[in-house]
Amino acid sequence: MKANNLALAAGTLGLGISEFGMMGVLPDVAKDLQISIPEAAHFISFYAAGVCVGAPLIVILGRKIPYKKLLIYLVALIIFGNLLTCLSFSYGTLATARFIAGLPHGAYFGVAAIVASKLSDVGKQSAAVAMVLSGMTVANLLGIPLCTFLGDVFSWRITYIAVTIWSFITIILINKWIPIIPLTVITNFSSQFTFLKNWKPWVLILIITFGNGGIFCWFSYVSKVMTNVAGFNQAHLGNLMFLAGIGMFLGNILSGKMSDRFSPIKVVIFIQAIAIVGLVSVFYLSHLQSIALISLLLLTACLFGLSAPEQVLLLRNSEGGQMLGASCAQIAFNLGNAIGALAGGIPITKGFTYNYTAIPGIVISSLGLLLLLFFYFKTQKKSVK
């Protein structure tokens, strides 16, 4: 990995632990603040709200700031949000802290993707973006389990102390390894939105939302699928989530390399189709442990395999407002996650078993595939990006 990509990936690693770490320490947070677990789950939503608000706001306000300096400012905000999380001892304070911690998330990913693409070798743009996003997969693979373990042994606050310390290291790495990239064009406020007059970015935003949403219908309830349907012991969940992390890591890296070879749109279409097959197998065959394991590895690979090529597609179709366009990808990712969790829960509330979470996933993913095919055939007459 090139040094500049490593520096950028350090930031996504910290953001990954900051975002998903709360899921592993919810019972401890609930006990510490003397609230219910469903109430503690609100802190996940506050973070997501911060992502959706901060992504466009920070990008617009920071449009005149050089990329390197903006990255450092964003990491400083990550430090502030997670430090405040460590020091929160009430529901209101922690809710505010999680909202602040989410503010730089989408903007950081957007700016990091632009920097990685500008510093990438010719024909290696998608692979460079995938390397930056790999920090998020490493967070799921190693960072979050480690922080959850430390939280169990010491305190849930140790997770956010770790993110704070790591973010200081990230600033050092960015300062050392990211060169000064001059802003070739400084656009005014309204020009940032010009690309949204085109239909392409809107379709891509929907594609990202449906692509993630379909898989998250299943992934939001994956522990119950693996225990209640496939019959795995609760004690094996840690190993199963480690396998999921391997799938995320491999999917992200391989899709980046394949996108540079075959084009991002073709790779996204292929992965979306594979995800639908995986969800079908969850519905019909997840009672078989071997199939459940294969589906777990395959679908988590698809989940993160979609990220890099979709990010690149949106970058290429947001001329004049690339930072805003790249940040919109993160809004779409989080929106898809929220929609997936909601839609996947519908069959459960109706009394169906957990493999039925795949049904809304299949529908949503199929909508995403139809939009992908529409985008592909609509654009290939000129030049498929």
Domains of the chain: 1-186 (1.20.1250.20), 187-385 (1.20.1250.20)
Mean pLDDT in the chain? 88
Helix locations, 197-287, DSSP H: 199-219, 222-224, 237-262, 264-285
Locate 85 and state its tokens: 């999380």
Q: Has residue 147 got a pLDDT over 90? A: no
Please state, in angstroms and rounded to a whole number, the distance separating the CA atoms of residues 370 and 376: 10
Pick the closest to residue 309 from 135, 67, 133, 55 (CA basis). Answer: 133
Query: What single string gives the DSSP state of each residue in 126-182?
Result: HHHHHHHHHHHHHIIIIIHHHHHHHHHHT-THHHHHHHHHHHHHHHHHHHHHPPP--
pLDDT bin (cut points 50, 70, 90) of residue 382 is low
The dihedrals phi and psi of 180, each to the nearest 5 degrees, come to -75, 125
| Digit-coded pLDDT (tens) for 217-264 | 998 888 889 999 999 998 888 788 889 889 999 999 999 889 988 899
Kind plus residue range of the DSSP H or E element containing 241: helix 237-262
Is residue 344 a contact partner of residue 217, using CB atoms and an 8 Å limit?
yes
Q: Specify which of 137-151, 218-232, 292-306 reaches the highest per-range mean pLDDT.
A: 292-306
Q: Which of 86-95, 108-117, 230-239, 342-351 has the highest mean pLDDT?
A: 86-95
- Find the helix or strand (DSSP H, E) in which 340 lies: helix 322-349
Q: Kindly report the pTM of this predicted structure.
A: 0.83
Residue 211 has pLDDT above 90, yes or no: yes
Tokens, residue 261: 């070879």
- Split at pLDDT 50, 70, 90, the class of 122 is confident
Question: What pLDDT score does 95 carry?
Answer: 95
Q: What is the pLDDT of residue 384?
A: 44
**How much is the pLDDT for 320?**
75
Listed in sequence order, the residues at least 6 apart from 364 whose beta carbon sits closer than 8 Å to its beta carbon are 210, 213, 214, 217, 339, 340, 343
Burial of 56 (0-12, 13-18, 19+ CB in 10 A): buried
Mean pLDDT of 75-80: 97
- Does residue 15 register a pLDDT over 80? yes
